[in-house]
């Protein structure tokens, strides 16, 4: 029994270690795109590429791409998290009433800017670069004062993954094991109320980015990933 628990524990911790290694590879993408994107507009196309990747990924794995393959998310987790105040993200930033209109406004503004010179791919690249610059600056400020991934609640890519991804691959929660120490919630980069799902057996959070940080620190191994499936919930 102990052997099984230790084996599974190592599995989650190994998976978190692998994720962190991949994130360190992705981190330099952010300063490279922001620092050189105006001079080399082709770099701005990293923005739609990551968004498309997230949308395709959401069909199969919810917000997995946000948590594991997004360069900006990696930057928040690896560079901002160590200096973040790790506070609470205000509830309104998580709500559809705020996120959906913001998604429409940001996408509409991007389209408006692109249509000002649609024949020039360099103009497209600079529009993407400008959006990336401004939104990353906002994300870094929120990451420092609130939570590393506070921006990810209303990032256009994250909101689209939330809409498309539903609850694919939700975390399983063995509530009988849980001691309510809330260590999991303290390390969750999104600051999700994990323990509130203790009685349901599943963490029904569409904004879970499937980073598995919570499962890796849980002292009683109450959290684990599940098979891919889809459910509806709030958020």
10 or 117: CB nearest ligand SF4: 10
- What is the smallest separation between the CB atom of 154 and ligand SF4, expressed in angstroms? 16
Q: How many residues bind ligand SF4 (CB under 6 A)?
A: 25
Degrees, nearest 5: CA angle 182-184-190 = 115
CA 68 – CA 209 distance, rounded (Å): 8
User: 70, 132, 184, 204: which one contacts ligand SF4 (CB under 6 A)?
Assistant: 184
User: Which 193-222 residues touch ligand SF4, going by CB under 6 A?
Assistant: 194-195, 203, 208-214, 218, 220, 222
Q: Please tell me whether residue 188 binds ligand SF4 under the rule CB under 6 A.
A: yes
Q: Please tell me whether residue 96 binds ligand SF4 under the rule CB under 6 A.
A: no
Cα distances (Å, whole numbers) of residue 132 to 33, 50, 67, 91, 140: 8, 11, 18, 24, 12
Whether 214 and 184 have beta carbons less than 8 Å apart is answered as: yes
19 or 126: CB nearest ligand SF4: 19
User: 183, 201, 202, 224: which one contacts ligand SF4 (CB under 6 A)?
Assistant: 183
Count of alpha carbons within 13 Å of 165, Cβ hemisphere only? 31
Give the three-state DSSP class for 4: helix
**To the nearest 5 percent, what fractions of the chain are helix, strand and coil?**
65, 5, 35
User: 43, 65, 110, 178: which one contacts ligand SF4 (CB under 6 A)?
Assistant: 178
Binding site for ligand SF4 (CB under 6 A): 171, 178-184, 188, 190, 192, 194-195, 203, 208-214, 218, 220, 222-223
């Amino acid at each position: 029994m102990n052997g099984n628990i230790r084996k599974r524990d190592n599995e989650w911790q190994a998976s978190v270690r692998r994720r962190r290694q991949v994130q360190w590879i992705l981190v330099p993408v952010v300063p490279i795109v922001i620092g050189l994107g105006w001079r080399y507009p082709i770099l701005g196309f990293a923005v739609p590429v990551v968004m498309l990747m997230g949308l395709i990924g959401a069909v199969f794995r919810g917000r997995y791409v946000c948590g594991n393959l997004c360069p900006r998310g990696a930057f928040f987790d690896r560079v901002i998290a160590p200096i973040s105040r790790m506070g609470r993200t205000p509830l309104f930033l998580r709500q559809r009433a705020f996120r959906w209109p913001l998604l429409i406004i940001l996408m509409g503004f991007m389209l408006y800017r692109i249509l000002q010179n649609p024949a020039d791919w360099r103009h497209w690249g600079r529009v993407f670069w400008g959006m990336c610059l401004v939104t990353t600056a906002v994300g870094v400020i929120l990451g420092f004062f609130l939570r590393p991934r506070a921006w990810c609640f209303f990032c256009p890519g994250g909101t689209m993954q939330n809409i498309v991804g539903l609850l694919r691959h939700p975390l399983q929660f063995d509530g009988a094991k849980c001691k309510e120490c809330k260590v999991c919630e303290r390390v969750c980069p999104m600051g999700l109320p994990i323990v509130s799902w203790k009685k349901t057996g599943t963490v029904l959070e569409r904004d879970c980015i499937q980073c598995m940080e919570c499962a890796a620190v849980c002292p009683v191994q109450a959290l684990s990933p599940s098979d891919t499936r889809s459910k509806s919930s709030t958020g």
